Amino acid sequence: MRVGLVVHPTRDIAGALATVQRWTAEHGTELVQLMARGNHREVAPPGDVDGCDLVVALGGDGTVLAALRAGAGSGTPVLGVACGSLGALSAVPGAGVADALERYRAGDWTPRRLPALGITSDGGEDWAVNDLVVIRHGAGQIMTAVAADGELYARLAGDGLVIATPLGSSAYSMAAGGPVLAMGTPAYVCTPLAPHGGSAPPLVVGGDARITLDVTPGFAGIDVEIDGQRRPHTDVQYRVELHRDRLTLVTFDDAGRGLTGLRRRGLITDSPRVLARDARGARD
């Protein structure tokens, strides 16, 4: 058995890391590190995800996203360990990592299947767990022509566009006014960013559709972000498809549709009028 590590670049992971190192040594398991883009923190010998039976992410949700991207090509399961507050993608806190590894080894875990966006451009191929963002680099606007299976939806002038999976629909896309897609919805969403005129609400497309973006940069150029990480793309055409069940997250309970987690984290809240009624009822 081989375990791959993805770690947060700066967060305190010492306790959880020591537990993983001790557990792998006790079980004769090889421990390697999968180096994430832009992260130069070395805690184990480098290795390749293709040889790993499990990937352990030590940090927060961003670290889990990096681990899921690393495992996207191979389908390797990812165990998220929260070194800090428990996020939406972490299965256990740092203190629970030893028990989690034992349960994984015993087969006492539940796979949570997640889709990913397959992104193709002239610069190659990439994966996004949350979202692909094409946005203006500086002053001015960019234009994006959005088509679904070759059928033009709209030509937009503005700050850019977010294309998000159901998981990513509660992140940048929601902040820009897009809908929340419940986990398991066989669809993804395109949300314009600060469109200048016209009429083009966020577009929800079926999971079997291909989205094509043709981008006309302004004089300041464009930026491309994948799961919040800026990439050195200069391409102006992108083809995006949703690959269902591409990723595997290790869980130990039923995550439902993800709505309880959104409420727990305060991203979705009740109407103040409803809360005021509840408060009155509690006083009576």
Same domain, 81 and 177: no
The residue assigned the tokens 């360990």 is 81
Same domain, 136 and 163: yes
Which residues participate in catalysis according to the annotation?
61
pLDDT tens digits along 217-264: 888 889 999 998 887 767 799 999 999 988 999 999 877 888 888 888
Residue 55 has pLDDT above 90, yes or no: yes
Same domain, 132 and 101: no
- What contacts 199, CB < 8 A, 6 or more positions away? none
pLDDT tens digits along 140-157: 899 999 999 999 999 999
Choose the final residue of a domain: 85, 108, 131: 108
Across the chain, the runs of DSSP E, i.e. the strands, are: 2-7, 30-33, 54-59, 78-82, 92-93, 110-121, 124-128, 131-136, 142-148, 151-158, 160-164, 187-193, 203-206, 210-216, 222-226, 229-231, 237-251
* CATH code of 101's domain: 3.40.50.10330
Residue 126 has pLDDT above 80, yes or no: yes
Cα angle value 63/135/216 (rounded, 5°): 140
* 176 confidence band (pLDDT: 50, 70, 90): very high
Tell me whether residue 24 is in a domain. yes
Pair of tokens at residue 238: 């992108």
| DSSP letter, residue 139 | S
With a threshold of 0.85, does the pTM exceed it? yes
Same domain, 73 and 6: yes
Same domain, 126 and 241: yes
Q: Which domain holds residue 156?
A: 116-245
CB–CB of 227/69 below 8 Å? yes
Least confident of 201-205, 260-264, 271-275: 260-264
Tell me whether residue 208 is in a domain. yes
Same domain, 233 and 127: yes
Mean pLDDT across the chain: 91
Per-residue pLDDT, averaged over 34-62, amounts to 87
**Number of domains the chain contains:** 2
Distance of CA 275 to the CA centre of its chain: 31
Same domain, 100 and 156: no
- What contacts 129, CB < 8 A, 6 or more positions away? 65, 68, 69, 72, 114, 116, 117, 165, 167, 168, 227, 247
Residue 40 has pLDDT above 90, yes or no: no
* 2 confidence band (pLDDT: 50, 70, 90): very high
* CATH code of 144's domain: 2.60.200.30
Same domain, 76 and 121: no
Tell me whether residue 124 is in a domain. yes
**What does R_g of the chain's alpha carbons equal in angstroms?**
20
Residue 29 has pLDDT above 90, yes or no: yes
Same domain, 157 and 240: yes
CB–CB of 159/194 below 8 Å? yes
* 5 confidence band (pLDDT: 50, 70, 90): very high
Same domain, 93 and 138: no
Tell me whether residue 259 is in a domain. no
Choose the final residue of a domain: 108, 129, 161: 108
Percentage of the chain beyond pLDDT 90 is 67
| DSSP letter, residue 220 | T
pLDDT tens digits along 96-119: 999 999 999 999 999 999 999 999
